[in-house]
Amino acid sequence: MAVVLKKCKRNGVKLVQETCSVRFLKKRLPIVAWLPRYNLEKFQGDLIAGLTVGLTVIPQGLAYAAVAELPLQYGLYSAFMGCFIYCLFGTSKDVTLGPTAIISLMTAEYAKGEPTLAIALCLCAGLVQFAMGVLQLGFLVNFMAFPVISGYMSAAALIIGCGQLKLIFGLKNVRRSFIWNIYDTFRKLPETNHWDLTLGIISFVILLIMKWLKDRNWDKDRDPFTPLTTRQRVGRKAVWLIGTGRNALIVIVTTILAGILFSNNIKPFTMTKDVPPGFPKVGPPSFSYQHNNQTVEGEEFLSNLGAGIAVLPLIAILETIAYGKAFASRNKYRIDATQELLALGIANIVSSFFGSYPMSCSCSRTAINSTSGVRTPLGGIFAGLLVILALAFIMPYFRYIPSAVLGAVIIASVINMFEYQVIPKQWRIHKPDLLVWMVCFLCVLFLGIQFGILVGVGLGLVIELYGLAKPGTKVDTIDCCPKIVVVKFDKGLSFPASDFIVTTIHDAGLDEPPYKPVILDFAHVSHLDFSVIRSLALSVEEYATNNTPLYFACVNRDLEAKLKKASIKNLQCFPTVQLATEAILGATREDGDVHQPILMTEVSLDHLDVSSDTGEVLQNHTSHSDRDNHETTV
């Protein structure tokens, strides 16, 4: 007991020392590592990138709040505090936190247009993410395979895009669910506001043109040895700047146009609702709200959030880590996935005190941040400050923003999220993945987000488990006397494959008389669990009962040790298939009957230095018996 207490005390002292070290502080508060090296050059890059991202997030925040079915100001409430928190705790210079299309759609699904529920969901999501970071459970997102993620995001893009058609057409009282949304939109087409439709289409086309100009490779047909003129450099910079700030530009221009018309009592467009000016009320989230003159609180309040408390944090983690790793790889640095979980969790927790709904990493704004020349996470500070200025001074003018323009901004933002190009690739490469993609896509559309994700993950796991239950095997026959069967497994063997292994080994040599010796080639097997070893023992016993050899070849040292510990009677292991074949042929010639018991001294890998090439077959085999001293070709 004293030894145990002494060991616990020593480990506790070591943990305290590590926690209080400068290294731990730099790991958990990354700003401490890079801030001492901050200089004017980095400040310039961060300032330009931060202002550019800020001009992008303001119109996007308003548009995504509409997707979340919340008042527009909540989009801006969600757009600044995450930038400040991530600057302290984040490990990526490119990542920007804030409202995103996917998380906004999920917020609409679970908060049902109630701001109190959305803010409480933000707090719950942050607590879940922080706990996962502390417990290092980020690996759970790995169970969402690419087909599930792609199918879900494609369905979400379609749902979001179709949900904005009511704004483009100027329709009212359109239901939210995908099927009813499509039905109501087509049913109410005669009620279309043609001014909204015209403005929405023009805005959408202009946004696409601006994006094309920004992304176009202007150096494709240019002589690389010819330097750019000053006019060309200025022109390219202007095109990039206009293309990057296209959302803000189109919103500003159309807002000015609508404001001028409105001041002259001309109201052709459907406007957004009035947005209250000023900073959000700071305080802990409320866990009660009024609905139909009744107070909803406690268990009923949490039940309204439903599966969103678990599903939404996982999707946000997936977005943040995936985009963070992608841009870190592109810009040649590394991020700490656990620290990213902690940063995202803290950002959501703190933001919920400022009226925010759940946030995540935005792919489009992160790309803009990267291409704008950001140098450190401090760039997010300038983006957040710009949002605060918008809240303080220009909120009253948001009432002049035409709804059709916000719809066009959203559709243009999510149009590239529909990953149609992966469909033919999955068909050519691995058709089961396409099945998972289609099932997840359709289930998200027709059953809802959480059911679609669960069904997609479940189907992916079933397909993976089926592969474990029926591992790839290759059965070859060495044409000699007697015929020898070589069974080759192509992966580690786990308990789902137990019955399959017994059946395969039985059918290889004992399917019908005359029975054939079998060699199990374990060259590609790196894992065996207890259930599999038990199945192998049953097979060895079955072959011994039928006086037929069953030998193991190319077993690595760890697996050989496991097999020995299982005390399998009549176990025979050989370093190569060739040596196992020689043993069978030699014993056959000595006994004259392959069905006689063959008892041999086990050959250890530790004492033989021979090739483990499993494709090696016995060529020009020479018998060790003087009686059969002639060349035999196998």
- For the segment 67-88, the average pLDDT, to the nearest whole number, is 92
The residue with greater pLDDT, 490 or 121, is 121
Spatial contact of 137 and 314, defined as CB atoms under 8 Å apart:
no
| CA atoms of 264 and 282, how far apart (whole Å) | 38
What angle, 0 to 180 degrees and rounded to 10, lies between the N-to-C axes of helices 449-469 and 308-330? 70
| CA atoms of 409 and 248, how far apart (whole Å) | 9
- For the segment 529-542, the average pLDDT, to the nearest whole number, is 92
Q: Which amino acid would we find at residue 41?
A: E
Q: What is the pLDDT of residues 335-367, one digit of tens each?
A: 888 899 999 999 999 999 999 999 999 888 888
Burial 52-76 (b: 16+ CB within 10 A, else e): bbbbbbbbbbbbbbbbbbbbbbbbb
| pLDDT at 534 > cutoff 50 | yes
| CA atoms of 47 and 549, how far apart (whole Å) | 75
Residue 552: its pLDDT value, please?
A: 94
| pLDDT at 190 > cutoff 50 | yes
- For the segment 372-377, the average pLDDT, to the nearest whole number, is 88
Q: What is the pLDDT of residues 541-585, one digit of tens each?
A: 999 999 999 999 999 989 989 998 988 888 999 999 999 998 888
Spatial contact of 612 and 575, defined as CB atoms under 8 Å apart:
yes
- For the segment 463-470, the average pLDDT, to the nearest whole number, is 85
What angle, 0 to 180 degrees and rounded to 10, lies between the N-to-C axes of helices 101-111 and 308-330? 180
Q: What is the pLDDT of residues 114-141, one digit of tens each?
A: 999 999 999 999 999 999 999 988 777 7
Q: pTM for the full model?
A: 0.74
| CA atoms of 344 and 356, how far apart (whole Å) | 13
Number of Cβ within a 10 Å radius of residue 589 = 15
Place of tokens 């993950």: 457
